[in-house]
Copies of this chain bind each other. A is one copy, B any other.
Amino acid sequence: MFYVIGLGLSDEKDITVKGLEAIKGCERVYLESYTSILMVSKERLEAFYEKEVIIATREMVELEADEILRDSDKIDVAFLVVGDPLGATTHTDLLLRARSLSIPTSVIHNASILTALGSTGLQMYNFGQTLSLVFYTETWRPDSWFERLEENLRIGVHTLVLLDIKVREQSEENMARGRLIYEPPRYMNPHQAFSQILLTESLRHPKDPSSSSSSSNNGDVDVDVEVKESLLPPASTLAISLSRIGTPTQKLISGTLEELAQLSEEEFGEPLHSVVIVGKKLHPLEFEYAGRFAVGGEAGGWWKVGKEVYGVERETF
């Protein structure tokens, strides 16, 4: 049997009893380590499972799938994934590969950030499509996520934004020279995420579009220039940062995009993080619950914008 087993979000004890029992019977145990991380070391997993754990890099999963699957029609092999195992395309691919080799498979589910985001107080029912934000560089700022965010905002639903992690990345120089030297892992902090979101927002919706377009038009009125209203005005859009969800140091911060973008990296602390952009369908109970984490407490922009822009009346608890 080829087991694909979710590990949940925080430490070695977030595995299910069923998952742990499966691992105990396995001859090889792989840990997928490039789309997310647990908050504990490989050694701690090994001690708890009483098994050696083989780190499965992206290259290994993509190029050596048959080695991972080897003999699993006769013996038990486990492929461990942080969160729920069916969140990323690659693992579906591995399951399809197993099935084409007539290897029996079993998926053991677990918690994922997609359900744990309930910790914000926002209802899972009210979320639209999930986005991924990658590290921008000077020359590479992929922003196709922005259209998906606007699609969500237009229908008033919340958006979960997953933040990039870089594990086993090579520098350009090392890659050019073929040296297998890897940079230290990097995990995007909400500080950077909010900066990138505001940057893309400002590029898509320049603050004073009429002046910039008229200067290039030599005074002619260009009727084709349709100035679309921004769906993401920083001072009147609510957002929430989620840090280390499911761990003892879990931290949520809610506020306007503008307020959150002004916080330092340290305010959010250690990885992993994600971010939620709040949609206009915000319910009073969601508003109240997430407001407990508001920047500035009772005087924070959360309450003002929620009432004046989102039109949500506060209940009392």
A199 at the A/B interface (Cβ < 8 Å)?
A: no
Q: Bound state CA distance, A179 and B6, in angstroms? A: 46
Question: Does B128 lie within 8 Å of A157, measured CB to CB?
Answer: yes
Q: What is the distance, in angstroms, from A94's C-beta to the closest C-beta of chain B?
A: 11
A125 and B130 in contact, given A6-B111, A151-B155 (Cβ under 8 angstroms):
yes
Residues of B near A124 (CB, < 8 A) are: 86-87, 112, 114, 130
A119 at the A/B interface (Cβ < 8 Å)?
A: yes
Give the total of A residues in contact with B, Cβ under 8 Å.
Answer: 56
- Checking B13, B114, B125, B130 against A16 with a beta-carbon cut-off of 8 angstroms, the contacting residue is B13
Residues of B near A74 (CB, < 8 A) are: none
Question: Does A317 lie within 8 Å of B96, measured CB to CB?
Answer: yes
- What residue of chain B has the Cβ atom nearest to residue A157's Cβ? B129
A109 at the A/B interface (Cβ < 8 Å)?
A: yes
Identify which of A17-25, A221-229, A255-263, A303-311 touches chain B: A17-25
Q: Bound state CA distance, A81 and B126, in angstroms? A: 20
A202 at the A/B interface (Cβ < 8 Å)?
A: no
Which residues of chain A in 88-118 are interfacial with respect to chain B, using CB atoms and an 8 Å cutoff?
Answer: 89, 92-93, 95-97, 99-100, 107, 109-112, 114-116, 118
Residues of B near A126 (CB, < 8 A) are: 129
Question: Does A17 lie within 8 Å of B18, measured CB to CB?
Answer: no
A78 at the A/B interface (Cβ < 8 Å)?
A: no
Question: Does B111 lie within 8 Å of A109, measured CB to CB?
Answer: yes
Q: Bound state CA distance, A8 and B19, in angstroms? A: 12
- What residue of chain B has the Cβ atom nearest to residue A90's Cβ? B285
Which residues of chain A in 293-317 are interfacial with respect to chain B, using CB atoms and an 8 Å cutoff?
Answer: 317
Question: Does A109 lie within 8 Å of B116, measured CB to CB?
Answer: yes
Q: Bound state CA distance, A292 and B96, in angstroms? A: 10
Which residues of chain A in 13-63 are interfacial with respect to chain B, using CB atoms and an 8 Å cutoff?
Answer: 13-18, 20-21
Question: Does A121 lie within 8 Å of B109, measured CB to CB?
Answer: no
In addition to A8-B110, A100-B317, A111-B112, 19 A-B residue pairs with Cβ atoms within 8 Å of each other are A8-B16, A14-B109, A16-B16, A16-B17, A84-B111, A86-B115, A86-B118, A87-B124, A89-B123, A92-B118, A96-B288, A109-B116, A110-B110, A114-B124, A125-B129, A125-B130, A125-B131, A127-B130, A128-B128
14 residue pairs of the A-B complex, CB under 8 angstroms, read A13-B18, A16-B17, A17-B17, A17-B20, A84-B118, A86-B119, A92-B121, A96-B288, A107-B118, A109-B246, A111-B112, A115-B115, A124-B130, A155-B155
In the A-B complex, the 10 residue pairs with the smallest Cβ-Cβ separation, listed nearest first, are A86-B118, A109-B111, A84-B115, A13-B18, A13-B17, A151-B155, A112-B115, A125-B130, A109-B116, A128-B128
Residues of A that sit less than 8 Å from B by CB: 6, 8-9, 11-18, 20-21, 83-87, 89, 92-93, 95-97, 99-100, 107, 109-112, 114-116, 118-119, 121, 123-132, 151, 155, 157, 246, 285, 288-289, 292, 317
